[in-house]
Structure 1
Amino acid sequence: KRWPCWAGPDRPNMAIVCSGINVERYQNKSAFAWLREEYNRGVAVGGLCTGAHILAAAGLLSNKRCAIHWENLPGFSEAFPKANVFADLFEIDQNIYTCAGGTAALDMMLKLIGDDFDENLVNRVCEQVLTDRVRSPTDRQRLPLRARLGVQNSKVLTIIELMEANLSEPLSLIEIADHVDLSRRQIERLFRTEMGRSPARYYLEIRLDRARHLLIQSSMPVVEVAVACGFVSASHFSKCYRELYARSPQQERVDRKQLLAA
Protein backbone atom coordinates (compact mmCIF):
# COMPACT_ATOMS: atom_id res chain seq x y z
CA LYS A 1 0.00 0.00 0.00
CA ARG A 2 1.25 3.45 -0.91
CA TRP A 3 1.01 5.90 1.96
CA PRO A 4 0.26 9.59 1.32
CA CYS A 5 3.12 12.05 1.20
CA TRP A 6 1.93 15.48 2.19
CA ALA A 7 3.98 18.59 1.60
CA GLY A 8 3.76 22.26 2.45
CA PRO A 9 0.43 23.47 3.86
CA ASP A 10 -1.15 20.03 3.33
CA ARG A 11 1.19 18.33 5.79
CA PRO A 12 -0.67 17.41 9.02
CA ASN A 13 0.47 18.67 12.40
CA MET A 14 -0.09 15.28 14.00
CA ALA A 15 -0.57 11.64 12.96
CA ILE A 16 -2.31 9.37 15.49
CA VAL A 17 -2.26 5.57 15.39
CA CYS A 18 -5.52 4.06 16.66
CA SER A 19 -4.98 0.42 17.54
CA GLY A 20 -6.66 -2.41 19.43
CA ILE A 21 -6.23 -6.15 19.90
CA ASN A 22 -3.85 -8.44 18.02
CA VAL A 23 -1.50 -5.52 17.38
CA GLU A 24 1.64 -7.67 17.61
CA ARG A 25 0.70 -9.35 14.32
CA TYR A 26 0.68 -6.07 12.39
CA GLN A 27 3.89 -5.92 10.35
CA ASN A 28 3.35 -3.27 7.68
CA LYS A 29 6.79 -1.98 6.76
CA SER A 30 5.32 0.72 4.53
CA ALA A 31 3.29 2.09 7.43
CA PHE A 32 6.34 2.01 9.71
CA ALA A 33 8.44 3.84 7.11
CA TRP A 34 5.69 6.43 6.62
CA LEU A 35 5.50 7.11 10.36
CA ARG A 36 9.27 7.54 10.56
CA GLU A 37 9.28 9.88 7.58
CA GLU A 38 6.49 12.07 8.95
CA TYR A 39 8.14 12.20 12.38
CA ASN A 40 11.50 13.15 10.86
CA ARG A 41 9.77 15.96 8.96
CA GLY A 42 8.48 17.46 12.19
CA VAL A 43 5.01 15.92 12.35
CA ALA A 44 3.94 14.92 15.87
CA VAL A 45 3.02 11.24 16.10
CA GLY A 46 0.91 9.49 18.67
CA GLY A 47 -0.72 6.23 19.63
CA LEU A 48 -4.02 5.42 21.34
CA CYS A 49 -4.34 2.24 23.42
CA THR A 50 -1.96 -0.24 21.75
CA GLY A 51 -0.87 2.37 19.20
CA ALA A 52 2.39 2.63 21.14
CA HIS A 53 3.17 -0.88 19.88
CA ILE A 54 3.04 0.36 16.27
CA LEU A 55 5.22 3.37 17.07
CA ALA A 56 7.75 1.11 18.81
CA ALA A 57 7.75 -1.31 15.88
CA ALA A 58 8.47 1.68 13.64
CA GLY A 59 11.52 2.46 15.77
CA LEU A 60 10.17 5.68 17.25
CA LEU A 61 10.09 4.86 20.96
CA SER A 62 13.69 3.97 21.80
CA ASN A 63 14.57 5.83 25.02
CA LYS A 64 11.20 7.60 24.88
CA ARG A 65 8.55 7.67 27.59
CA CYS A 66 5.28 6.11 26.50
CA ALA A 67 1.99 4.74 27.82
CA ILE A 68 0.00 1.67 26.83
CA HIS A 69 -3.06 -0.12 28.19
CA TRP A 70 -2.19 -2.01 31.39
CA GLU A 71 -3.22 -5.36 29.89
CA ASN A 72 -0.68 -4.95 27.10
CA LEU A 73 2.16 -3.61 29.22
CA PRO A 74 3.85 -6.98 30.02
CA GLY A 75 4.09 -8.08 26.38
CA PHE A 76 5.12 -4.61 25.23
CA SER A 77 7.91 -4.40 27.82
CA GLU A 78 9.34 -7.72 26.69
CA ALA A 79 9.06 -6.90 22.97
CA PHE A 80 10.50 -3.37 23.20
CA PRO A 81 12.93 -3.18 26.14
CA LYS A 82 14.40 0.13 24.89
CA ALA A 83 11.07 1.94 25.28
CA ASN A 84 10.43 3.59 28.66
CA VAL A 85 6.86 2.39 29.13
CA PHE A 86 4.72 3.41 32.10
CA ALA A 87 1.28 2.41 33.35
CA ASP A 88 0.22 6.07 33.19
CA LEU A 89 -2.89 7.45 31.51
CA PHE A 90 -0.79 9.23 28.89
CA GLU A 91 2.76 10.29 28.18
CA ILE A 92 4.14 13.15 26.12
CA ASP A 93 7.82 12.94 25.23
CA GLN A 94 8.97 15.69 22.89
CA ASN A 95 6.87 15.19 19.73
CA ILE A 96 5.47 11.75 20.63
CA TYR A 97 2.08 11.36 22.30
CA THR A 98 0.79 8.06 23.67
CA CYS A 99 -2.13 7.14 25.89
CA ALA A 100 -3.58 3.99 27.42
CA GLY A 101 -6.80 4.16 25.42
CA GLY A 102 -10.39 4.40 26.63
CA THR A 103 -11.10 7.65 28.45
CA ALA A 104 -7.36 8.36 28.69
CA ALA A 105 -7.59 9.58 25.08
CA LEU A 106 -9.96 12.29 26.31
CA ASP A 107 -7.55 13.30 29.07
CA MET A 108 -4.68 13.62 26.62
CA MET A 109 -6.86 15.61 24.21
CA LEU A 110 -7.84 18.02 26.99
CA LYS A 111 -4.17 18.43 27.91
CA LEU A 112 -3.37 19.36 24.30
CA ILE A 113 -6.25 21.83 24.17
CA GLY A 114 -5.02 23.41 27.40
CA ASP A 115 -1.50 23.74 26.02
CA ASP A 116 -2.63 25.41 22.79
CA PHE A 117 -5.54 27.50 24.08
CA ASP A 118 -6.72 28.27 27.62
CA GLU A 119 -8.47 26.80 30.63
CA ASN A 120 -11.77 28.36 29.61
CA LEU A 121 -11.88 26.30 26.42
CA VAL A 122 -10.86 23.18 28.32
CA ASN A 123 -13.77 23.71 30.71
CA ARG A 124 -16.20 24.21 27.85
CA VAL A 125 -15.06 20.98 26.21
CA CYS A 126 -15.37 19.16 29.55
CA GLU A 127 -18.98 20.31 29.77
CA GLN A 128 -19.70 19.04 26.27
CA VAL A 129 -18.22 15.59 26.91
CA LEU A 130 -19.77 15.35 30.41
CA THR A 131 -16.61 15.13 32.47
CA ASP A 132 -15.90 17.23 35.53
CA ARG A 133 -12.11 17.17 35.59
CA VAL A 134 -8.96 16.60 33.59
CA ARG A 135 -6.96 13.72 35.01
CA SER A 136 -3.18 14.06 35.19
CA PRO A 137 -0.90 11.76 33.18
CA THR A 138 0.15 9.88 36.31
CA ASP A 139 -3.36 9.07 37.53
CA ARG A 140 -3.94 5.34 37.86
CA GLN A 141 -5.12 3.28 34.92
CA ARG A 142 -6.50 0.62 37.24
CA LEU A 143 -8.43 0.78 40.47
CA PRO A 144 -6.29 0.68 43.63
CA LEU A 145 -5.70 -2.83 44.96
CA ARG A 146 -8.02 -2.16 47.91
CA ALA A 147 -10.96 -1.50 45.59
CA ARG A 148 -9.99 -4.02 42.92
CA LEU A 149 -9.66 -6.96 45.32
CA GLY A 150 -12.12 -5.88 47.98
CA VAL A 151 -9.41 -6.30 50.62
CA GLN A 152 -9.06 -3.90 53.54
CA ASN A 153 -6.12 -5.39 55.45
CA SER A 154 -3.12 -3.13 54.81
CA LYS A 155 -0.58 -5.89 55.45
CA VAL A 156 -2.17 -8.15 52.84
CA LEU A 157 -2.24 -5.29 50.33
CA THR A 158 1.44 -4.56 50.96
CA ILE A 159 2.32 -8.23 50.46
CA ILE A 160 0.38 -8.38 47.19
CA GLU A 161 2.16 -5.24 45.96
CA LEU A 162 5.48 -6.93 46.76
CA MET A 163 4.41 -10.02 44.85
CA GLU A 164 3.29 -8.03 41.80
CA ALA A 165 6.61 -6.15 41.78
CA ASN A 166 8.64 -9.37 41.89
CA LEU A 167 7.23 -11.78 39.32
CA SER A 168 10.36 -12.71 37.37
CA GLU A 169 12.34 -13.39 40.55
CA PRO A 170 9.77 -14.42 43.17
CA LEU A 171 10.45 -13.59 46.78
CA SER A 172 10.44 -16.36 49.36
CA LEU A 173 7.85 -16.25 52.11
CA ILE A 174 10.67 -15.54 54.56
CA GLU A 175 11.74 -12.48 52.53
CA ILE A 176 8.14 -11.27 52.38
CA ALA A 177 7.75 -11.78 56.12
CA ASP A 178 10.85 -9.66 56.76
CA HIS A 179 9.44 -6.86 54.58
CA VAL A 180 6.14 -6.63 56.45
CA ASP A 181 7.36 -7.53 59.94
CA LEU A 182 5.11 -10.59 60.27
CA SER A 183 5.80 -14.25 60.85
CA ARG A 184 5.24 -16.82 58.11
CA ARG A 185 2.39 -18.30 60.12
CA GLN A 186 0.71 -14.89 60.45
CA ILE A 187 0.93 -14.36 56.69
CA GLU A 188 -0.52 -17.80 56.03
CA ARG A 189 -3.48 -17.06 58.32
CA LEU A 190 -4.07 -13.62 56.81
CA PHE A 191 -4.16 -14.95 53.26
CA ARG A 192 -6.46 -17.82 54.17
CA THR A 193 -8.84 -15.32 55.76
CA GLU A 194 -8.63 -12.47 53.21
CA MET A 195 -7.86 -14.26 49.93
CA GLY A 196 -9.19 -17.77 50.52
CA ARG A 197 -5.91 -19.38 49.55
CA SER A 198 -2.31 -19.66 50.74
CA PRO A 199 0.17 -16.89 49.91
CA ALA A 200 2.17 -19.35 47.80
CA ARG A 201 -0.92 -20.23 45.78
CA TYR A 202 -1.87 -16.60 45.28
CA TYR A 203 1.67 -15.72 44.19
CA LEU A 204 1.64 -18.59 41.70
CA GLU A 205 -1.69 -17.47 40.25
CA ILE A 206 -0.57 -13.89 39.60
CA ARG A 207 2.62 -15.16 37.95
CA LEU A 208 0.54 -17.43 35.72
CA ASP A 209 -1.78 -14.54 34.92
CA ARG A 210 1.24 -12.52 33.77
CA ALA A 211 2.37 -15.52 31.72
CA ARG A 212 -1.04 -15.74 30.06
CA HIS A 213 -0.82 -12.09 29.01
CA LEU A 214 2.64 -12.68 27.52
CA LEU A 215 1.47 -15.76 25.63
CA ILE A 216 -1.47 -13.88 24.16
CA GLN A 217 0.24 -10.56 23.44
CA SER A 218 3.72 -11.57 22.33
CA SER A 219 5.58 -14.09 20.21
CA MET A 220 8.04 -14.90 23.00
CA PRO A 221 9.02 -18.60 23.11
CA VAL A 222 7.32 -20.50 25.90
CA VAL A 223 10.63 -21.02 27.70
CA GLU A 224 11.24 -17.24 27.75
CA VAL A 225 7.73 -16.64 29.07
CA ALA A 226 8.47 -19.16 31.82
CA VAL A 227 11.68 -17.38 32.81
CA ALA A 228 10.03 -13.94 32.69
CA CYS A 229 7.43 -15.19 35.17
CA GLY A 230 9.83 -16.80 37.61
CA PHE A 231 9.67 -20.48 36.65
CA VAL A 232 12.82 -22.57 36.76
CA SER A 233 11.88 -24.71 33.75
CA ALA A 234 9.43 -24.78 30.86
CA SER A 235 8.13 -28.18 31.99
CA HIS A 236 7.28 -26.91 35.49
CA PHE A 237 5.67 -23.83 33.98
CA SER A 238 3.56 -25.93 31.60
CA LYS A 239 2.45 -28.20 34.43
CA CYS A 240 1.34 -25.28 36.61
CA TYR A 241 -0.32 -23.54 33.67
CA ARG A 242 -2.31 -26.62 32.73
CA GLU A 243 -3.45 -27.13 36.32
CA LEU A 244 -4.85 -23.58 36.51
CA TYR A 245 -6.20 -23.04 32.98
CA ALA A 246 -6.88 -26.65 31.89
CA ARG A 247 -4.77 -26.23 28.76
CA SER A 248 -1.09 -25.99 27.91
CA PRO A 249 0.68 -22.70 27.13
CA GLN A 250 0.99 -23.85 23.51
CA GLN A 251 -2.74 -24.55 23.30
CA GLU A 252 -3.46 -21.11 24.77
CA ARG A 253 -1.78 -19.54 21.76
CA VAL A 254 -3.57 -21.84 19.30
CA ASP A 255 -6.94 -21.04 20.88
CA ARG A 256 -6.21 -17.32 20.78
CA LYS A 257 -5.28 -17.39 17.08
CA GLN A 258 -8.42 -19.36 16.23
CA LEU A 259 -10.57 -16.93 18.20
CA LEU A 260 -9.11 -13.92 16.39
CA ALA A 261 -9.46 -15.61 13.01
CA ALA A 262 -13.14 -16.47 13.60
Structure 2
Amino acid sequence: MGLQSSISSNHCVIKLDQDRLALTREFDILVLPGVSMLTLGGFLEPLRIVNALTHREAFRWRVLSLEDDTFGCSNGFHIDEDVLLGTEGCQRCSLVVGGELTSSTERQLVINWIRRRKRFGNGIGYIGPCARLFAEAGVLVSEQFVVSQSEKSAFSECYSHLLPHEGLFCRERDVLSCVDGTAALDFAASFIEQDMGRSLALAVLQQCGQSKLRAGSDQPQNVAGDLHESRHKALKTAIRLMSEHIENPLSMEMVAKKAHISRRQMERLFKIHTALTPSKYYQHMRLHHAKSLLRQTDMRVLDIALACGFSNVSTMKVAYRREFGQGFAS
Protein backbone atom coordinates (compact mmCIF):
# COMPACT_ATOMS: atom_id res chain seq x y z
CA MET A 1 0.00 0.00 0.00
CA GLY A 2 1.31 3.46 -0.92
CA LEU A 3 1.43 6.59 1.17
CA GLN A 4 -1.94 7.95 2.28
CA SER A 5 -3.41 11.40 2.84
CA SER A 6 -6.60 12.32 4.66
CA ILE A 7 -9.33 14.78 3.80
CA SER A 8 -12.38 15.79 5.80
CA SER A 9 -15.95 15.93 4.50
CA ASN A 10 -19.01 16.47 6.70
CA HIS A 11 -16.92 15.72 9.81
CA CYS A 12 -15.78 12.38 8.32
CA VAL A 13 -12.12 11.61 7.63
CA ILE A 14 -11.49 9.95 4.27
CA LYS A 15 -8.11 8.37 3.56
CA LEU A 16 -6.77 8.53 0.00
CA ASP A 17 -3.70 6.92 -1.52
CA GLN A 18 -1.08 9.43 -2.64
CA ASP A 19 -0.95 7.63 -5.99
CA ARG A 20 -4.62 8.43 -6.56
CA LEU A 21 -4.11 12.06 -5.57
CA ALA A 22 -1.49 12.35 -8.31
CA LEU A 23 -4.02 11.51 -11.04
CA THR A 24 -5.91 14.04 -13.17
CA ARG A 25 -8.78 13.06 -15.45
CA GLU A 26 -9.63 15.50 -18.23
CA PHE A 27 -12.87 16.05 -20.16
CA ASP A 28 -13.90 18.02 -23.19
CA ILE A 29 -17.63 18.69 -22.86
CA LEU A 30 -19.55 19.72 -25.96
CA VAL A 31 -22.72 21.47 -24.78
CA LEU A 32 -25.62 21.56 -27.25
CA PRO A 33 -28.08 24.49 -27.41
CA GLY A 34 -30.92 24.30 -24.90
CA VAL A 35 -29.06 21.96 -22.55
CA SER A 36 -30.63 21.23 -19.17
CA MET A 37 -28.69 22.95 -16.37
CA LEU A 38 -29.74 20.12 -14.04
CA THR A 39 -27.97 17.63 -16.30
CA LEU A 40 -24.88 19.73 -16.99
CA GLY A 41 -24.51 20.83 -13.36
CA GLY A 42 -25.26 17.31 -12.15
CA PHE A 43 -22.12 16.08 -13.88
CA LEU A 44 -19.78 19.00 -13.20
CA GLU A 45 -20.65 19.87 -9.60
CA PRO A 46 -19.45 16.56 -8.06
CA LEU A 47 -16.14 16.95 -9.92
CA ARG A 48 -15.80 20.52 -8.61
CA ILE A 49 -16.45 19.30 -5.06
CA VAL A 50 -13.68 16.70 -5.37
CA ASN A 51 -11.25 19.39 -6.51
CA ALA A 52 -12.26 21.59 -3.56
CA LEU A 53 -11.89 18.77 -1.03
CA THR A 54 -8.51 17.57 -2.34
CA HIS A 55 -7.17 21.11 -2.98
CA ARG A 56 -6.03 20.11 -6.48
CA GLU A 57 -7.36 19.51 -9.98
CA ALA A 58 -8.25 15.85 -9.72
CA PHE A 59 -10.69 16.57 -12.56
CA ARG A 60 -10.24 19.15 -15.29
CA TRP A 61 -12.71 20.09 -18.02
CA ARG A 62 -13.26 22.45 -20.90
CA VAL A 63 -16.69 23.50 -22.15
CA LEU A 64 -17.02 23.42 -25.94
CA SER A 65 -19.85 25.08 -27.83
CA LEU A 66 -21.19 25.46 -31.36
CA GLU A 67 -21.84 29.13 -30.65
CA ASP A 68 -19.27 31.86 -30.17
CA ASP A 69 -18.82 33.35 -26.66
CA THR A 70 -21.92 31.94 -24.88
CA PHE A 71 -24.52 29.19 -25.16
CA GLY A 72 -28.11 29.13 -23.94
CA CYS A 73 -29.59 26.61 -21.49
CA SER A 74 -33.18 25.34 -21.46
CA ASN A 75 -34.11 27.82 -18.70
CA GLY A 76 -32.84 30.81 -20.67
CA PHE A 77 -29.58 31.10 -18.72
CA HIS A 78 -26.41 31.76 -20.74
CA ILE A 79 -22.98 30.34 -19.93
CA ASP A 80 -19.57 31.27 -21.34
CA GLU A 81 -17.76 28.65 -23.37
CA ASP A 82 -14.07 27.79 -22.93
CA VAL A 83 -13.36 26.61 -26.48
CA LEU A 84 -15.19 26.94 -29.79
CA LEU A 85 -15.83 23.57 -31.47
CA GLY A 86 -13.13 22.70 -33.98
CA THR A 87 -10.31 24.60 -32.26
CA GLU A 88 -9.52 21.99 -29.60
CA GLY A 89 -7.28 18.93 -29.66
CA CYS A 90 -8.36 15.29 -29.24
CA GLN A 91 -6.43 14.21 -26.15
CA ARG A 92 -9.27 14.29 -23.60
CA CYS A 93 -12.32 12.14 -22.93
CA SER A 94 -15.12 13.79 -24.94
CA LEU A 95 -18.72 14.08 -23.76
CA VAL A 96 -21.72 15.58 -25.54
CA VAL A 97 -24.37 16.99 -23.19
CA GLY A 98 -27.75 17.00 -24.86
CA GLY A 99 -29.95 19.80 -26.01
CA GLU A 100 -31.67 20.26 -29.35
CA LEU A 101 -30.13 20.87 -32.78
CA THR A 102 -32.54 22.52 -35.20
CA SER A 103 -30.00 23.20 -37.94
CA SER A 104 -29.00 20.34 -40.26
CA THR A 105 -25.61 22.02 -40.69
CA GLU A 106 -24.97 22.03 -36.94
CA ARG A 107 -26.21 18.46 -36.69
CA GLN A 108 -23.76 17.28 -39.33
CA LEU A 109 -20.96 19.25 -37.67
CA VAL A 110 -21.58 17.46 -34.36
CA ILE A 111 -21.87 14.05 -36.04
CA ASN A 112 -18.53 14.56 -37.79
CA TRP A 113 -17.00 15.66 -34.46
CA ILE A 114 -18.31 12.50 -32.76
CA ARG A 115 -16.82 10.29 -35.48
CA ARG A 116 -13.48 12.09 -35.29
CA ARG A 117 -13.32 11.87 -31.50
CA LYS A 118 -14.34 8.19 -31.58
CA ARG A 119 -11.45 7.46 -33.93
CA PHE A 120 -8.71 9.70 -32.57
CA GLY A 121 -9.79 10.76 -29.08
CA ASN A 122 -9.40 9.37 -25.59
CA GLY A 123 -12.97 8.13 -25.13
CA ILE A 124 -16.34 9.45 -26.30
CA GLY A 125 -19.81 9.53 -24.78
CA TYR A 126 -22.96 11.51 -24.07
CA ILE A 127 -25.24 12.67 -21.28
CA GLY A 128 -28.92 13.27 -21.98
CA PRO A 129 -30.90 13.07 -25.26
CA CYS A 130 -28.00 12.48 -27.67
CA ALA A 131 -28.46 8.79 -28.55
CA ARG A 132 -29.86 9.56 -32.02
CA LEU A 133 -26.82 11.72 -32.84
CA PHE A 134 -24.48 8.89 -31.87
CA ALA A 135 -26.58 6.33 -33.76
CA GLU A 136 -26.49 8.53 -36.87
CA ALA A 137 -22.73 8.83 -36.44
CA GLY A 138 -22.61 5.02 -36.57
CA VAL A 139 -20.79 4.54 -33.25
CA LEU A 140 -23.47 2.65 -31.28
CA VAL A 141 -23.21 -0.65 -33.18
CA SER A 142 -22.08 -3.44 -30.80
CA GLU A 143 -22.29 -1.02 -27.88
CA GLN A 144 -24.24 -1.05 -24.63
CA PHE A 145 -25.94 2.31 -24.20
CA VAL A 146 -28.86 4.03 -22.49
CA VAL A 147 -31.48 6.38 -23.95
CA SER A 148 -33.13 9.25 -22.10
CA GLN A 149 -36.88 9.02 -21.63
CA SER A 150 -37.45 12.17 -23.69
CA GLU A 151 -36.07 10.60 -26.88
CA LYS A 152 -37.03 6.94 -26.45
CA SER A 153 -40.00 7.19 -28.82
CA ALA A 154 -38.04 8.81 -31.61
CA PHE A 155 -35.04 6.52 -31.10
CA SER A 156 -37.11 3.32 -31.26
CA GLU A 157 -38.79 4.45 -34.48
CA CYS A 158 -35.60 5.56 -36.22
CA TYR A 159 -33.19 2.91 -34.93
CA SER A 160 -35.27 -0.16 -34.15
CA HIS A 161 -32.24 -2.39 -34.88
CA LEU A 162 -30.35 -0.87 -31.93
CA LEU A 163 -31.50 -2.08 -28.51
CA PRO A 164 -30.82 0.29 -25.59
CA HIS A 165 -29.82 -0.90 -22.15
CA GLU A 166 -32.23 -0.11 -19.31
CA GLY A 167 -30.50 1.87 -16.60
CA LEU A 168 -28.90 5.15 -15.56
CA PHE A 169 -25.62 4.96 -17.44
CA CYS A 170 -23.23 2.62 -19.26
CA ARG A 171 -19.45 2.60 -19.06
CA GLU A 172 -18.77 -0.99 -20.11
CA ARG A 173 -17.84 -0.38 -23.75
CA ASP A 174 -16.06 2.21 -25.90
CA VAL A 175 -18.97 4.67 -25.95
CA LEU A 176 -20.07 6.09 -22.59
CA SER A 177 -23.72 7.04 -22.11
CA CYS A 178 -25.94 8.49 -19.40
CA VAL A 179 -29.59 9.52 -19.26
CA ASP A 180 -30.47 13.08 -18.31
CA GLY A 181 -31.47 14.63 -14.98
CA THR A 182 -30.03 13.45 -11.66
CA ALA A 183 -28.42 10.40 -13.29
CA ALA A 184 -25.60 12.76 -14.26
CA LEU A 185 -24.66 12.85 -10.55
CA ASP A 186 -24.26 9.08 -10.50
CA PHE A 187 -22.33 9.14 -13.77
CA ALA A 188 -19.86 11.64 -12.31
CA ALA A 189 -19.67 9.60 -9.09
CA SER A 190 -18.64 6.53 -11.07
CA PHE A 191 -15.51 8.37 -12.27
CA ILE A 192 -14.81 9.65 -8.74
CA GLU A 193 -15.16 6.13 -7.33
CA GLN A 194 -12.84 4.70 -9.98
CA ASP A 195 -10.16 7.36 -9.54
CA MET A 196 -10.47 8.33 -5.87
CA GLY A 197 -12.33 5.53 -4.10
CA ARG A 198 -15.85 4.71 -2.99
CA SER A 199 -15.72 6.64 0.29
CA LEU A 200 -14.99 9.95 -1.40
CA ALA A 201 -17.58 9.33 -4.13
CA LEU A 202 -20.25 8.74 -1.49
CA ALA A 203 -19.20 11.79 0.52
CA VAL A 204 -19.45 13.97 -2.58
CA LEU A 205 -22.91 12.65 -3.46
CA GLN A 206 -24.06 13.37 0.08
CA GLN A 207 -22.99 16.99 -0.37
CA CYS A 208 -25.18 17.00 -3.50
CA GLY A 209 -28.17 15.75 -1.50
CA GLN A 210 -28.03 12.09 -2.55
CA SER A 211 -27.69 9.43 0.11
CA LYS A 212 -26.25 6.51 -1.84
CA LEU A 213 -24.22 5.49 -4.86
CA ARG A 214 -26.41 4.19 -7.65
CA ALA A 215 -25.05 1.69 -10.18
CA GLY A 216 -25.37 2.15 -13.91
CA SER A 217 -27.86 -0.70 -14.05
CA ASP A 218 -30.21 0.95 -11.53
CA GLN A 219 -33.46 2.27 -12.94
CA PRO A 220 -34.09 6.03 -13.23
CA GLN A 221 -36.24 7.44 -10.47
CA ASN A 222 -39.91 7.83 -11.34
CA VAL A 223 -41.15 11.36 -11.81
CA ALA A 224 -43.96 12.20 -9.38
CA GLY A 225 -47.29 11.84 -11.09
CA ASP A 226 -45.97 9.76 -13.98
CA LEU A 227 -49.02 8.04 -15.47
CA HIS A 228 -46.93 5.09 -16.61
CA GLU A 229 -46.25 3.84 -13.09
CA SER A 230 -48.53 2.28 -10.52
CA ARG A 231 -48.15 -0.13 -7.66
CA HIS A 232 -51.08 -2.18 -8.91
CA LYS A 233 -49.69 -5.17 -10.83
CA ALA A 234 -52.64 -5.62 -13.21
CA LEU A 235 -52.66 -1.93 -14.10
CA LYS A 236 -48.91 -1.96 -14.75
CA THR A 237 -49.41 -4.99 -17.01
CA ALA A 238 -52.18 -3.25 -18.92
CA ILE A 239 -50.07 -0.10 -19.40
CA ARG A 240 -47.08 -2.17 -20.53
CA LEU A 241 -49.25 -3.97 -23.09
CA MET A 242 -50.47 -0.64 -24.42
CA SER A 243 -46.94 0.74 -24.71
CA GLU A 244 -45.83 -2.38 -26.57
CA HIS A 245 -48.69 -2.08 -29.09
CA ILE A 246 -48.63 1.56 -30.15
CA GLU A 247 -48.55 0.90 -33.90
CA ASN A 248 -51.19 -1.84 -33.83
CA PRO A 249 -53.44 -1.01 -30.86
CA LEU A 250 -55.09 -3.83 -28.97
CA SER A 251 -58.79 -3.83 -28.19
CA MET A 252 -59.70 -3.06 -24.59
CA GLU A 253 -61.06 -6.60 -24.27
CA MET A 254 -57.69 -8.04 -25.34
CA VAL A 255 -55.76 -5.77 -22.94
CA ALA A 256 -57.99 -6.86 -20.04
CA LYS A 257 -57.67 -10.52 -21.01
CA LYS A 258 -53.86 -10.37 -21.21
CA ALA A 259 -53.73 -8.49 -17.88
CA HIS A 260 -55.87 -11.27 -16.32
CA ILE A 261 -58.67 -8.96 -15.17
CA SER A 262 -62.18 -8.25 -16.36
CA ARG A 263 -62.96 -5.28 -18.58
CA ARG A 264 -64.97 -3.76 -15.74
CA GLN A 265 -62.12 -4.18 -13.25
CA MET A 266 -59.73 -2.54 -15.69
CA GLU A 267 -62.09 0.42 -16.20
CA ARG A 268 -62.26 0.91 -12.44
CA LEU A 269 -58.46 0.69 -11.96
CA PHE A 270 -57.77 3.26 -14.66
CA LYS A 271 -60.36 5.64 -13.25
CA ILE A 272 -58.88 5.37 -9.74
CA HIS A 273 -55.20 5.66 -10.71
CA THR A 274 -55.24 7.85 -13.84
CA ALA A 275 -58.68 9.55 -13.83
CA LEU A 276 -59.03 8.34 -17.44
CA THR A 277 -60.82 5.47 -19.11
CA PRO A 278 -58.51 2.79 -20.54
CA SER A 279 -59.28 3.84 -24.12
CA LYS A 280 -58.61 7.51 -23.32
CA TYR A 281 -55.36 6.59 -21.59
CA TYR A 282 -54.31 4.48 -24.58
CA GLN A 283 -55.00 7.35 -26.96
CA HIS A 284 -53.15 9.74 -24.63
CA MET A 285 -50.11 7.44 -24.85
CA ARG A 286 -50.28 7.16 -28.65
CA LEU A 287 -50.67 10.92 -29.10
CA HIS A 288 -47.69 11.69 -26.87
CA HIS A 289 -45.70 9.20 -28.92
CA ALA A 290 -46.81 11.08 -32.05
CA LYS A 291 -45.82 14.41 -30.49
CA SER A 292 -42.30 13.10 -29.80
CA LEU A 293 -41.92 11.85 -33.36
CA LEU A 294 -43.18 15.13 -34.83
CA ARG A 295 -40.69 17.12 -32.75
CA GLN A 296 -37.67 14.85 -32.90
CA THR A 297 -37.68 13.13 -36.30
CA ASP A 298 -37.98 13.94 -39.99
CA MET A 299 -40.56 11.19 -40.57
CA ARG A 300 -43.49 11.96 -42.87
CA VAL A 301 -46.68 12.82 -41.00
CA LEU A 302 -48.46 9.86 -42.61
CA ASP A 303 -45.74 7.49 -41.38
CA ILE A 304 -46.03 8.97 -37.88
CA ALA A 305 -49.81 8.52 -37.93
CA LEU A 306 -49.45 4.86 -38.93
CA ALA A 307 -46.65 4.30 -36.38
CA CYS A 308 -48.98 5.59 -33.65
CA GLY A 309 -51.96 3.44 -34.56
CA PHE A 310 -54.00 5.94 -36.60
CA SER A 311 -55.41 4.89 -39.96
CA ASN A 312 -54.82 8.30 -41.56
CA VAL A 313 -53.47 11.80 -40.89
CA SER A 314 -56.90 13.41 -40.58
CA THR A 315 -57.93 11.14 -37.71
CA MET A 316 -54.68 11.85 -35.86
CA LYS A 317 -55.03 15.61 -36.47
CA VAL A 318 -58.47 15.73 -34.86
CA ALA A 319 -57.32 13.69 -31.84
CA TYR A 320 -54.09 15.69 -31.56
CA ARG A 321 -55.90 19.04 -31.48
CA ARG A 322 -58.34 17.72 -28.87
CA GLU A 323 -55.45 16.44 -26.71
CA PHE A 324 -53.04 19.38 -26.93
CA GLY A 325 -55.29 22.29 -27.88
CA GLN A 326 -53.37 22.97 -31.09
CA GLY A 327 -52.64 21.26 -34.38
CA PHE A 328 -49.42 20.50 -36.21
CA ALA A 329 -48.09 21.29 -39.68
CA SER A 330 -48.60 18.63 -42.33
Q: Deviations over 1:163-216 (max 9, x none)?
A: 223222222222212222222233234334443332112111111111111111
Superposed displacement of residue 70, structure 1: 0.5
Q: 1:170 to 1:40 in 2, by over 3 A?
A: same
Distance 1:188 1:173 in 2: 9
Match of 2:250 in 1: 171
Aligned AA (1:98) = S
Q: 1:163 to 1:18 in 2, by over 3 A?
A: same
% identity of equivalent residues: 27
TM-score normalised by structure 1 residue count: 0.80
Bigger strand fraction: 2
Bigger Cα displacement from structure 2, 110-119 vs 22-31: 22-31
Q: Of residues 178, 194, 214 in structure 2, which corresponds to 1:115?
A: 194
Q: 1:162 to 1:135 in 2, by over 3 A?
A: same
Match of 1:256 in 2: none
Q: 1:142 to 1:221 in 2, by over 3 A?
A: farther
Match of 1:257 in 2: none
Please, which runs of 5 or more residues in structure 2 have no aligned partner?
Answer: 1-83
Q: Of residues 197, 218, 232 in structure 2, which corresponds to 1:139?
A: 218
Bigger Cα displacement from structure 2, 100-109 vs 233-242: 233-242
Q: 1:57 to 1:27 in 2, by over 3 A?
A: farther
Distance 2:221 2:165 in 1: 13
Q: 1:142 to 1:167 in 2, by over 3 A?
A: farther
Distance 2:223 2:206 in 1: 27
Q: 1:158 to 1:34 in 2, by over 3 A?
A: closer
Match of 1:60 in 2: 139
Q: 1:142 to 1:166 in 2, by over 3 A?
A: farther
Distance 2:271 2:209 in 1: 43
1:197 partner SS = coil
Match of 1:3 in 2: 86
Q: Of residues 217, 220, 226 in structure 2, which corresponds to 1:148?
A: 226
Superposed displacement of residue 45, structure 1: 0.4
Match of 1:77 in 2: 156
Q: 1:56 to 1:23 in 2, by over 3 A?
A: farther
Contact 2:143–2:174 at 8 Å: present in 1 too? no
2:145 partner SS = strand
Match of 2:94 in 1: 15
C-alpha RMSD of the superposition = 2.8
Match of 2:308 in 1: 229
Larger Rg: 2
Contact 2:94–2:121 at 8 Å: present in 1 too? no
Please, which runs of 5 or more residues in structure 1 have no aligned partner?
Answer: 252-262
Superposed displacement of residue 100, structure 1: 1.0
Contact 1:69–1:87 at 8 Å: present in 2 too? no
Bigger Cα displacement from structure 2, 184-193 vs 212-221: 184-193
Superposed displacement of residue 92, structure 1: 2.4
Superposed displacement of residue 74, structure 1: 0.9
2:318 partner SS = helix
Match of 1:43 in 2: 122
Contact 2:266–2:278 at 8 Å: present in 1 too? yes
2:220 partner SS = coil
The alignment status of 1:245 with 2:328, answered yes or no, reads: no
Superposed displacement of residue 16, structure 1: 0.8
